[in-house]
């Protein structure tokens, strides 16, 4: 009964730090196994919910994708995908899970629809999302002069 009335001792910064290390590790493995970071193109198909990475040699891989948020360098603002008009509802599900995670852990920072922060923090939020939703990796793509989309992805499939 006592647990019901005590405040959580959850350390969000420690959790984020561990998530960033996990992201570095898995993305390094992706770089070695299917050349993440060497792609010549990327495309999100909103109908299928997949991201396709294309390579200069004609090869391609794809994976289920979720949008975590949009970061604007001009304003230094990160906006969660769970309430972003440009993100279709099926691609917001992981971001919605982070909002629920934040409620459960009493993390007000993660419940704000947007926040002013450095780009590094947008990566940290994305790493946290990767861990919480058990995604397979994360990716950031430029979608305008000063705008980046932060995404997580699932299991990779080689395209034939």
Residue 35 located in a structural domain: yes
| Other beta carbons less than 10 A from residue 51's beta carbon | 24
* b/e code 108-140 from CB counts within 10 Å (16+ = b): eebbeebbeeeeebbbbbbbbbbbbbebbbbbe
Classify burial at 11, counting beta carbons within 10 Å of its beta carbon; exposed 0-12, middle 13-18, buried 19 or more.
exposed
Residue 52 located in a structural domain: yes
Residue 3 located in a structural domain: no
Residue 131 located in a structural domain: yes
Residue 116 located in a structural domain: yes
CA 144 to chain centre: 18
pTM: predicted TM-score of the whole model, two decimal places = 0.92
Q: How far apart are CA 28 and CA 37, in angstroms?
A: 9
Residue range of the domain that includes 145: 10-158
The count of domains in the chain is 1
Residue 4 located in a structural domain: no
Residue 16 located in a structural domain: yes
Encode the chain (160 residues) as per-residue pLDDT tens digits.
Answer: 445 545 557 899 999 999 999 999 999 999 999 999 999 999 999 999 999 999 999 999 999 999 999 999 999 999 999 989 999 999 999 999 999 999 999 999 999 999 999 999 999 999 999 999 999 999 999 998 999 999 999 999 998 6
**Residues written for the chain:** 160
Q: Are 10 and 106 in contact (CB under 8 A)?
A: yes
Place of tokens 């995908």: 81
């Amino acid at each position: 009964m006592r647990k019901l009335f005590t405040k959580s001792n959850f350390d969000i910064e420690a959790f984020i730090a561990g998530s960033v290390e996990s992201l570095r590790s898995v993305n390094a493995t992706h770089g070695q196994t299917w050349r993440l970071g060497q792609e010549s193109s990327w495309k999100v198909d909103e109908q299928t919910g997949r991201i396709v990475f294309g390579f200069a040699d004609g090869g391609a891989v794809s994976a289920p994708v979720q949008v975590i948020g949009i970061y604007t360098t001009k304003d230094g603002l990160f906006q969660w995908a769970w309430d972003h008009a440009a993100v279709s509802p099926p691609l917001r599900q992981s971001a919605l899970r982070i909002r629920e995670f934040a409620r459960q852990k009493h993390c007000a920072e993660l419940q704000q629809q947007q926040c002013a922060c450095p780009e590094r923090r947008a990566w940290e939020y994305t790493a946290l999302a990767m861990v919480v939703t058990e995604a397979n990796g994360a990716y950031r793509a430029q979608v305008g002069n000063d705008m980046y989309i932060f995404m997580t992805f699932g299991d990779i499939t080689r395209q034939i």
